[in-house]
Amino acid sequence: MKSRGVSNTGPRNVQLGQVVESFRKQGVMRLLGGEITKLRHGLVEITAKNRPGFSQQDGFVHAGIMATLADNCAGYATLSRLPSGSRVLAVEFKLNFIRPGIGELIRGRARVRRLGKTLSVCEVYVEMRQEGKWVACAWGSETVYCIRAKED
Protein backbone atom coordinates (compact mmCIF):
# COMPACT_ATOMS: atom_id res chain seq x y z
CA MET A 1 0.00 0.00 0.00
CA LYS A 2 1.56 3.25 -1.16
CA SER A 3 0.71 6.91 -1.50
CA ARG A 4 1.81 8.54 -4.74
CA GLY A 5 0.58 11.76 -6.30
CA VAL A 6 0.35 13.52 -2.96
CA SER A 7 0.73 17.27 -3.14
CA ASN A 8 3.21 18.36 -0.42
CA THR A 9 3.04 22.09 -0.89
CA GLY A 10 0.76 24.75 0.51
CA PRO A 11 -1.03 25.41 3.77
CA ARG A 12 -3.16 22.26 3.67
CA ASN A 13 -0.34 19.76 4.28
CA VAL A 14 -1.72 18.77 7.68
CA GLN A 15 -5.13 17.89 6.22
CA LEU A 16 -3.56 15.86 3.41
CA GLY A 17 -1.12 14.24 5.84
CA GLN A 18 -3.97 12.93 7.99
CA VAL A 19 -5.39 11.21 4.90
CA VAL A 20 -2.09 9.43 4.21
CA GLU A 21 -1.75 8.41 7.87
CA SER A 22 -5.31 7.04 8.03
CA PHE A 23 -4.87 5.21 4.73
CA ARG A 24 -1.76 3.45 6.04
CA LYS A 25 -3.79 2.07 8.97
CA GLN A 26 -6.59 0.66 6.83
CA GLY A 27 -6.51 -3.11 6.50
CA VAL A 28 -8.98 -3.34 3.61
CA MET A 29 -6.81 -1.15 1.38
CA ARG A 30 -3.78 -3.25 2.30
CA LEU A 31 -5.80 -6.37 1.40
CA LEU A 32 -6.75 -4.90 -1.99
CA GLY A 33 -3.26 -3.54 -2.66
CA GLY A 34 -4.68 -0.04 -3.06
CA GLU A 35 -2.52 3.04 -3.28
CA ILE A 36 -3.37 6.71 -3.29
CA THR A 37 -2.45 7.91 -6.77
CA LYS A 38 -3.87 11.41 -6.43
CA LEU A 39 -4.54 13.46 -3.32
CA ARG A 40 -5.66 17.06 -3.41
CA HIS A 41 -7.86 19.18 -1.18
CA GLY A 42 -11.31 17.58 -1.71
CA LEU A 43 -10.15 15.03 -4.31
CA VAL A 44 -8.80 11.49 -3.85
CA GLU A 45 -7.91 8.77 -6.32
CA ILE A 46 -7.04 5.20 -5.28
CA THR A 47 -5.70 2.62 -7.74
CA ALA A 48 -5.14 -1.14 -7.43
CA LYS A 49 -3.98 -3.89 -9.75
CA ASN A 50 -6.79 -6.18 -10.82
CA ARG A 51 -6.27 -9.79 -9.78
CA PRO A 52 -8.24 -13.05 -9.85
CA GLY A 53 -9.42 -12.61 -6.25
CA PHE A 54 -11.39 -9.50 -7.31
CA SER A 55 -13.61 -11.41 -9.74
CA GLN A 56 -17.20 -12.51 -9.51
CA GLN A 57 -18.50 -15.71 -11.14
CA ASP A 58 -18.29 -14.37 -14.72
CA GLY A 59 -14.76 -13.02 -14.38
CA PHE A 60 -15.62 -9.32 -14.02
CA VAL A 61 -14.41 -7.26 -11.06
CA HIS A 62 -16.94 -7.80 -8.27
CA ALA A 63 -19.28 -4.89 -7.49
CA GLY A 64 -18.14 -5.03 -3.86
CA ILE A 65 -14.54 -4.27 -4.87
CA MET A 66 -15.71 -1.28 -6.92
CA ALA A 67 -17.92 -0.08 -4.07
CA THR A 68 -15.07 -0.42 -1.57
CA LEU A 69 -12.79 1.76 -3.70
CA ALA A 70 -15.52 4.35 -4.26
CA ASP A 71 -16.36 4.45 -0.53
CA ASN A 72 -12.73 4.91 0.50
CA CYS A 73 -12.21 7.66 -2.04
CA ALA A 74 -15.25 9.58 -0.77
CA GLY A 75 -14.21 9.24 2.85
CA TYR A 76 -10.67 10.40 2.18
CA ALA A 77 -11.76 13.24 -0.12
CA THR A 78 -13.90 14.48 2.78
CA LEU A 79 -11.15 13.96 5.35
CA SER A 80 -8.81 16.06 3.20
CA ARG A 81 -11.13 19.03 3.81
CA LEU A 82 -11.44 18.63 7.59
CA PRO A 83 -9.27 19.85 10.48
CA SER A 84 -6.42 17.63 11.62
CA GLY A 85 -7.62 14.90 13.97
CA SER A 86 -11.07 14.62 12.37
CA ARG A 87 -12.67 11.33 11.36
CA VAL A 88 -15.25 10.25 8.79
CA LEU A 89 -17.87 7.52 8.39
CA ALA A 90 -20.03 6.57 5.42
CA VAL A 91 -23.73 7.37 5.83
CA GLU A 92 -25.07 6.31 2.44
CA PHE A 93 -23.88 5.68 -1.09
CA LYS A 94 -25.43 5.02 -4.47
CA LEU A 95 -23.31 3.44 -7.18
CA ASN A 96 -24.56 2.89 -10.73
CA PHE A 97 -22.71 0.16 -12.62
CA ILE A 98 -22.55 1.16 -16.27
CA ARG A 99 -20.02 -1.33 -17.65
CA PRO A 100 -18.50 -4.63 -16.49
CA GLY A 101 -15.18 -4.36 -14.66
CA ILE A 102 -12.61 -5.64 -17.15
CA GLY A 103 -8.97 -4.56 -17.25
CA GLU A 104 -5.58 -4.67 -15.62
CA LEU A 105 -6.03 -1.76 -13.17
CA ILE A 106 -9.00 -0.47 -11.19
CA ARG A 107 -9.23 3.14 -10.06
CA GLY A 108 -11.69 4.89 -7.78
CA ARG A 109 -12.00 8.66 -7.62
CA ALA A 110 -14.08 11.00 -5.48
CA ARG A 111 -14.57 14.74 -5.30
CA VAL A 112 -16.30 16.64 -2.51
CA ARG A 113 -19.23 18.55 -3.99
CA ARG A 114 -20.72 19.93 -0.76
CA LEU A 115 -19.15 20.12 2.68
CA GLY A 116 -21.44 21.02 5.55
CA LYS A 117 -20.92 21.03 9.32
CA THR A 118 -21.75 17.34 9.78
CA LEU A 119 -22.21 15.90 6.28
CA SER A 120 -20.25 15.86 3.06
CA VAL A 121 -21.63 14.91 -0.35
CA CYS A 122 -19.19 13.44 -2.86
CA GLU A 123 -19.42 12.26 -6.43
CA VAL A 124 -17.61 8.98 -7.00
CA TYR A 125 -16.31 7.16 -10.08
CA VAL A 126 -14.76 3.77 -10.74
CA GLU A 127 -12.76 3.09 -13.89
CA MET A 128 -10.80 0.18 -15.32
CA ARG A 129 -7.65 0.42 -17.42
CA GLN A 130 -8.43 -1.51 -20.62
CA GLU A 131 -5.90 -1.79 -23.44
CA GLY A 132 -4.11 1.40 -22.45
CA LYS A 133 -7.07 3.65 -21.69
CA TRP A 134 -9.34 4.30 -18.71
CA VAL A 135 -12.96 3.18 -19.17
CA ALA A 136 -15.77 4.24 -16.82
CA CYS A 137 -17.45 1.30 -15.04
CA ALA A 138 -19.43 2.96 -12.25
CA TRP A 139 -20.41 6.37 -10.96
CA GLY A 140 -22.51 7.65 -8.11
CA SER A 141 -22.62 9.67 -4.93
CA GLU A 142 -21.81 9.20 -1.28
CA THR A 143 -22.83 11.04 1.87
CA VAL A 144 -20.14 11.07 4.53
CA TYR A 145 -20.54 11.89 8.24
CA CYS A 146 -17.88 14.34 9.46
CA ILE A 147 -16.58 13.90 13.00
CA ARG A 148 -14.72 17.18 13.23
CA ALA A 149 -11.79 17.72 15.54
CA LYS A 150 -11.81 21.01 17.38
CA GLU A 151 -9.83 23.61 15.45
CA ASP A 152 -7.12 25.46 17.33
Domains of the chain: residue spans and CATH: 13-147 (3.10.129.10)
Q: What is the pLDDT of residue 11?
A: 47
Query: Which phi-psi region, left, alpha or beta, contains residue 15 (left: φ > 0; alpha: ψ -120 to 50)?
Result: alpha
The β-bridge partners of 128 are: 106, 135
Residue 49 CB-half CA count within 13 A: 6
How many other β-carbons are positioned within 10 Å of the β-carbon of residue 62? 14
| Nearest alpha carbon to residue 54 among 96, 20, 100 | 100
- Interatomic CA distance for residues 72 and 29, integer angstroms: 9
- Interatomic CA distance for residues 101 and 117, integer angstroms: 35
| Nearest alpha carbon to residue 63 among 28, 94, 97, 30 | 97
Give the predicted TM-score (pTM) of the model: 0.90
Q: Which regions of the chain are under pLDDT 50?
A: 1-2, 6-11
Q: What is the pLDDT of residue 13?
A: 76
Q: What is the pLDDT of residue 32?
A: 97
- The 10s digit of each residue's pLDDT in 29-55 is 999 999 999 999 999 999 999 999 999
- Interatomic CA distance for residues 103 and 133, integer angstroms: 10
Q: What is the pLDDT of residue 3?
A: 52
- Interatomic CA distance for residues 139 and 109, integer angstroms: 9
